[in-house]
Amino acid sequence: MTSFTFNTVPSILVAPGAIRRLGEIAAARLGSRVALITDAGLVKAGLVEPALEALRTSGIAVAVYDRVVADPPESVVREAVEAARAHDADAVVGLGGGSSMDVAKLVALLLRSGETLDAIYGVGLATGPRLPLLLAPTTAGTGSEVTAVSIVTTGAHEKKGVVSPILLPDVALLDPELTLGLPPHVTAATGIDAMVHAIEAYTSTSPNNNPISRALAREALRLLGRNIRRAVRHGRDLDARTNMLLGAMLAGQAFANSPVAAVHALAYPIGGHFGVPHGLSNALVLAHVMRFNAPVCFEAYCDLAPHAFPELEGAVGERGAESFIAALAALSADIGLEPRLRDVGIPQDAIPMMAEDAMKQTRLLVNNPRPVTLADAKAIYEAAW
């Protein structure tokens, strides 16, 4: 066994209705003046009100910043920091999908540390300290509540990451009731996103790929693969929603320590240039990246296959790997996700530009089982088109 480091969140609460305990948790673990970071859609849907009521009942002064958008630009991060500073916040709560949680991480960091956003893009450049931080996901996908990563859109379309253990929150609060109202398409896309996290963590060539991450990835795929169809088709099924949320978190813990690779690198330009949600962007290129990687990691794909799809027990060799890839593609189609880039309005002549942008994601590409060249990236996009 090689040496490795495994970092994760100190405290994780998984329970239906857990958001109604936010006040007592904040009083004990966070502070008396909380900045709550979320988005306007969740406020309109009524999902933020129970959190506010719980905080106020516990005597905690709370200010809400609800202008987070998908793939948040730097301007949103800076605006959220100023809103929290105006409130004199001594703690931060992130409530929402990956974008809200990513912004909340950076607010907690920048408000306390005095670091600048431009100076901390990359791995290990953010050192802190940060304010106390609690994250509560409303989707089962990103796993951001247990990752040391925050993704920001810089300039017009490019995405950059802040990666540092200081971003891990003090508490991850997983309340499956917050996910009951997710539309089927969002449930499907975020669920596939979580499955991608598990697959890429398991096959990552990161020197920190480790047995804990691999075990978590296998269990994540078991939970996700056995519950995603039920969650999509029967959105009020609390058991399926709980298993999806837990699976997404386990996948998040896995890739937080054994980082993701080319699927994410090629997905980022799709979202950055064409506004395609992150989970769907991953789904659009997943099978094609896996086919590219299969010659060098078919054994790992065969190891994973029966965890997601029990009928693939005994899959061996490259044929077994192809069965796994085909099963993932069939799953995406079965739960209503668009199968090709052209189906989400991406023109074929955008492929060279997207390939150029994907090659800038060196932080991710370095973890891929097979080296990716510019020509390879173009070929993968062509296959996905």
Cα distances (Å, whole numbers) of residue 108 to 2, 9, 55, 76, 131: 34, 15, 18, 14, 5
More confident residue, 306 or 315: 306
> Which pLDDT does position 2 carry in this prediction?
80
pLDDT 10s digits, 104-123: 999 999 999 989 999 999 99
Residue 244 amino acid letter? M
3-state secondary structure of 59: coil
Residue 87: DSSP 8-state: T
pLDDT 10s digits, 251-276: 999 999 999 999 999 999 999 899 99
Residue 172, strand partner residues: 12, 135
Going from N- to C-terminal start, the domains of the chain cover 11-178, 182-384
Average pLDDT, integer, range 17-35: 93
pLDDT 10s digits, 351-366: 999 999 999 999 999 9
3-state secondary structure of 4: coil
Return the residue matching tokens 């490795």.
Answer: 4
Confidence of residue 1 (pLDDT cuts 50, 70, 90): low
Confidence of residue 293 (pLDDT cuts 50, 70, 90): very high
Question: At what angle are helices 351-358 and 262-274 packed, to 10 degrees?
Answer: 130
Handedness of CA 28, 31, 32, 37 (dihedral sign): negative
C-alpha dihedral (93, 97, 98, 100), degrees to nearest 10: -40
Residue 204: DSSP 8-state: -
Confidence of residue 158 (pLDDT cuts 50, 70, 90): confident
Spatial contact of 315 and 323, defined as CB atoms under 8 Å apart: yes
Buried (b) or exposed (e) across 9-30, using 16+ Cβ within 10 A?
beebbeebebbbebbebbeeeb
**Which backbone phi and psi does 65 adopt, to 5 degrees?**
-110, 115
CATH topology of domain 182-384: Dehydroquinate synthase-like, alpha domain (1.20.1090)
The class level of CATH for 11-178 reads alpha beta
Q: Whole-model pTM?
A: 0.95
- The lowest-confidence range among 151-165, 247-261, 321-335 is 151-165
Spatial contact of 205 and 368, defined as CB atoms under 8 Å apart: yes
Average model confidence (pLDDT) for the chain? 96
Q: Of all residues in the chain, what percent carry a pLDDT higher than 70?
A: 100
Question: Does residue 31 have a pLDDT over 80?
Answer: yes
pLDDT 10s digits, 167-223: 999 999 999 999 998 999 999 999 999 999 999 999 999 999 999 999 999 999 999
> Which pLDDT does position 197 carry in this prediction?
98
Within a 10 A sphere around the Cβ of 116, how many other Cβ atoms? 9
> Which pLDDT does position 159 carry in this prediction?
84
**From start to end of the chain, where are the E strands?**
11-14, 33-37, 61-65, 91-96, 122-123, 133-137, 149-154, 158-163, 171-174
